[in-house]
Amino acid sequence: MRTTLRLLLLALALAPLRAKADGDDWLTQFWQDEKMSLFLRTDYFENSRLLDGQKDLWGGTAQLEAKPSWQDVDGKLNLYVLEPNALTADRAAFSLVEGYLTFHLGQVDIRVGKISVPWGRADGVNPTDNLTPHDYTLQLPFDEDLRVGLAAVKLDWYLDEELDVTLFTTPFFEPSKFPLPQAGNGVSYQVTTPAQTLQNEEAGLKLNKTGGDWDWSVSYFHGFRSLPDLDLASESAGSSVVGVDYSPIDVWGADFAHNLGPFAVRGEAALTLPERAPTGDLNPLQPFVMAVFGLDRSFDQELNVNLQVIGRFITDFSPLAPESDSFTAQVNELDRIVNNQQDANSYEVSFRVGDKWMNETLGAEVFGVVDLTRNDSYIRPSVNYAFNDQLTAWAGWDIYRGDANTPFGLISPTQGFFSEVRYSF
């Protein structure tokens, strides 16, 4: 609670500064030149995303964004202070989401700092998006809040008005934060991440075309899978240690987008090739192809409907070997669930339907993914209302359905109502 008071004091300290800027020439000019924005957010979640059983989490966030610009250099700063549960905990987190400078050198842009780089043209499910991790445990409601920047260098070379080449590299691997079942009862996790050295440097290369009749790209990534691999590291009387590490992978990908009359057609696919597993690993990450194909259409410029088909195909599938030790079998099954490696072929359908009313002050959306192979699903209906240019509210419901041995069933304890009220300066 003390941290929440500090957040409120921070807001009260900054709000008059922004209000004064509306009537003070130099301060107004500074705020506008640096393209600064301050967001005060309060969020409620019925259930914790950490699979720790906490309920009724109410938190507060103060977020600052700035996009300063100079002659041939511009930058971005995005940071926040977040307390996910002000009622029961005092553990505020400070996070620098992005902070970088971009140097414009003729046809080449070089970006240095903490960078978030999304790849892919499909809606919400992107097989080629392997450069930067996500924090799936964060108590914030929007997908863009879950992306985490990495200390990296990105070079964009603009060959002409439509064609460009991107090179991304970093020696600072960070995994995605994924909710795993809580340790306890003699079970603990032992996390091992790749050393942050030049030998473990990650790199991505993409040739991208935008404009004209077709948009497309081809890409390559060498680095580490951001989702965890799990195995039984050790076991003794009354104690079991589950190893958590991250596989080195190579990913070849491509995507496209094309307008076909009133429809927008999108596709994306990637071949993921893990490096050879160590001798004795009975449950390695297996090579797989993931592909997405979808259509979307807008009606009256306000109603939009998007539908996608998603396929995962393991190229050399091997089922889990029967285990005499039941806990080893549970760990191996959990690893297959987290990495979507339970079936040789699996299929999903995703959809997104959104509409706006009242001069776009009121909006509603339903997003969902239905697994046709394992019969689990995720549905998220939500509504939003803009009271004015500065104050907006959202409310929605995360609904997970499926058996405990399915991807959506595994995280079903996190389902429930959520809301956010955001005030921007």
Distance from C-alpha of 46 to C-alpha of 212, rounded to nearest angstrom: 46
Distance from C-alpha of 216 to C-alpha of 207, rounded to nearest angstrom: 9
Write out pLDDT tens, residues 116-156: 999 999 998 999 999 999 999 999 999 889 998 999 999 99
Distance from C-alpha of 110 to C-alpha of 108, rounded to nearest angstrom: 7
Residue 212 token pair: 């004209």
Query: What local confidence, expressed as pLDDT, does residue 9 receive?
Result: 47
Closest listed residue to residue 232, CA positions, set 326, 318, 338, 337: 326
Distance from C-alpha of 346 to C-alpha of 187, rounded to nearest angstrom: 31
Q: Which of 72-86, 150-164, 233-247 has the highest mean pLDDT?
A: 150-164
Distance from C-alpha of 32 to C-alpha of 74, rounded to nearest angstrom: 14
**Contact 116/226 with Cβ under 8 angstroms?**
no
Cβ neighbours for 195, distance < 8 A, ≥ 6 positions apart? none
Handedness of CA 280, 282, 284, 289 (dihedral sign): positive
**Contact 128/270 with Cβ under 8 angstroms?**
yes
Output phi, psi for 131, to 5 deg: -80, -40
Q: Which helix (H) or strand (E) holds 15?
A: helix 2-21
Distance from C-alpha of 141 to C-alpha of 35, rounded to nearest angstrom: 25
- Please list, residue by residue across 149-178, b when 16 or more beta carbons sit within 10 angstroms of its beta carbon and e when fewer do: bbbbebbbeeeeeeebebebbbbebbbbbb
pLDDT of 219 > 50? The answer is yes
pTM over 0.85, yes/no: yes
pLDDT of 334 > 80? The answer is yes
Query: What local confidence, expressed as pLDDT, does residue 212 receive?
Result: 86
**Contact 128/120 with Cβ under 8 angstroms?**
yes
Write out pLDDT tens, residues 53-99: 999 999 999 999 999 998 899 999 999 898 888 877 667 788 899 99
% of the chain with per-residue pLDDT over 70: 89
pLDDT of 242 > 60? The answer is yes
**Contact 402/414 with Cβ under 8 angstroms?**
no
% of the chain with per-residue pLDDT over 90: 71
Place of tokens 């064609």: 163
**Contact 257/268 with Cβ under 8 angstroms?**
no
Write out pLDDT tens, residues 385-415: 999 999 999 999 999 999 999 999 999 999 9
DSSP secondary structure letters along 44-63: EEEE-TTSS--EEEEEEEEE
Residue 136 token pair: 């799936």
Please count the other Cβ atoms lying within 10 Å of the Cβ belonging to residue 72: 10
DSSP secondary structure letters along 260-289: ETTEEEEEEEEEEEEPPPPTT-SSPPPPEE
pLDDT of 7 > 70? The answer is no
Q: Of 15-24, 129-138, 179-188, 266-275, which gets the smallest average pLDDT?
A: 15-24
Distance from C-alpha of 9 to C-alpha of 421, rounded to nearest angstrom: 18
Residue 27 token pair: 């301060």
**Contact 232/327 with Cβ under 8 angstroms?**
yes
Write out pLDDT tens, residues 252-265: 999 999 999 899 99
State the chain's mean pLDDT as an integer: 89
Distance from C-alpha of 315 to C-alpha of 270, rounded to nearest angstrom: 12
What band does 378 get if pLDDT is binned at 50, 70 and 90?
very high
